[in-house]
Structure 1
Amino acid sequence: MAKNDARRGELGDHAVAVLAREGARGLTHRAIDRAAEVPTGTTSNYFPDREAIIAAILERIGIRLAPSNSEEAGIGEAGRAGFASYMNALVGRLTSDRDAAIALFELRLEATRRPAVHDALAHWARSGLDADVAFHRQQGLPGDREHVVLFHYAITGLILDQLTVPIDPATEVSTTIARLVDGLLPER
């Protein structure tokens, strides 16, 4: 297996784009080679099988959708307003990297058909949830693990809505998030 980490990352990013654009059926070594404009067979040198491609996609999505230090530092306050600010930044991040967000939805759908994808995605998602809960506690944000889980459910639906066909395009995302925060978080 090839060791060029920069090339590996580039191919992983192209795999994300192929998955977002073509769906799981279109995700092949050749499709990634074409998207990356590299010689046929290059992708298979880095990712010998589909499981390795999926692992690379999850790694790249995690990197691309991770919060920046300034975003985490920008919470400013520990109450509902700080939580709403962070949720707005999260939704902005997810909707601005459409390929990564759509690829993640594609993987969720593929997980219903392929146990290997299910297992890889479940591990990745649950590790991410644990990190989110730890961050939530570290920042002193209101609520507990159950509230973070509820926000994951709500934000996942909101992102899907924003990336596809918004059911209420007249309502600002920040307004929706403010309503979610008011409805889901306990009073302090």
Structure 2
Amino acid sequence: MPRNPERRAQLADAGLAVLAEQGARGLTHRAVDAAAGLPAGTASNYFRSRDALLGALGERIFERLAPDEAVLAPLAERTPSVDLVIDYVRYIVERLLAKPELPLALFELRLEAARRPGLNEILSRTLQQGFDADVSFHVQAGLPGGAEEVRLLHFAIDGLVFDQLTPGVGRRYDVDAATAHLVRRLVRED
């Protein structure tokens, strides 16, 4: 397997753009090559199967959504509270909505994984690692709540972001206010 991490990232980013714009049906190795401006066959050299390509896209989404340490540092200095959880979750929502192609691609991947056992295994592992990291961060930061609250926040934020990026009841409400309301309903001070 080729080991050029920059080329792999370039291909994954092109794949995410194709997935977000055209859905899973439009995602082919050839479409990724074209979107990346690379010779035909390049994507298949890096990702031998469709499941490998789709799984790599899931991993790349989380790489691109990683938080900025400069934003986290001042938050980490604050006293743990529900208000701090609100600010952390607002930052998550902000990152997701600032790069709409990433959550849209993730929604596409999750739907595709429901039909593809190989992708289901790969994506489930990636999503579980992300969830475990979120719980670990939450607990280590001393924030109120625990794994169950983090799980419920995942469900709520997925729905909020989905509503903002697709036709629905979205865009008629203040996203920051809705985020704060969700956190206050799901996380209680100890």
- Residue in structure 1 matched with residue 118 of structure 2 by the alignment: 116
Query: Is 2:2–2:45's contact at 8 Å kept on the other side of the alignment?
Result: yes
- 1:70 Cα shift? 2.1
| TM norm structure 1 | 0.95
Q: d(CA) in 1 for partners of 2:59 and 2:187?
A: 31
Q: Which residue of 1 aligns with 2:42?
A: 42
State the shift of 1:168 in Å.
Answer: 4.2
Alignment of 1:1-188 (within 5 A): 1-75=1-75, 76-188=78-190
Task: Give the 3 Å change call, closer, same or farther, for CA 25–168 of structure 1 in structure 2.
Answer: closer
C-alpha deviations, 1:17-41, integer Å up to 9, x for none?
1111111111101000110111111
In the alignment, is the contact (CA less than 8 A) between 1:94 and 1:100 conserved in 2? yes
Q: Which runs of 5+ in 2 are unaligned?
A: none
Q: In structure 2, give the amino acid aligned to 1:52.
A: A
CA distance in 2, matches of 1:79, 1:59: 31
**What fraction of aligned residue pairs are identical, expressed as a percent?**
46
Deviation (angstroms), 1:166: 4.4
> Separation in 1 of the partners of 2:152 and 2:86?
14
CA contact 1:71–1:86 (8 Å) conserved in 2: no
| Paired AA for residue 60 in structure 2 | R
Structure 1 position 165, deviation (Å): 2.4
Query: Whole-Å Cα distance in 2 between the matches of residues 94 and 127 of structure 1?
Result: 18
Q: Deviations over 1:118-145 (max 9, x none)?
A: 1111111111111000000111111111
The CA deviation at 1:170 is: 2.7
Measure how far apart 1:74 and its partner are. Answer: 3.4
Superposed displacement of residue 169, structure 1: 2.2
Amino acid of the structure 1 residue aligned with 2:56: A
One-letter code of the match for 1:15? G
| Structure-2 separation of matches of 1:56 and 1:175 | 34
CA contact (8 A) 2:135 2:146 kept: yes
Structure 1 residue ranges without an equivalent (≥5): none
TM-score calculated relative to the size of structure 2? 0.94
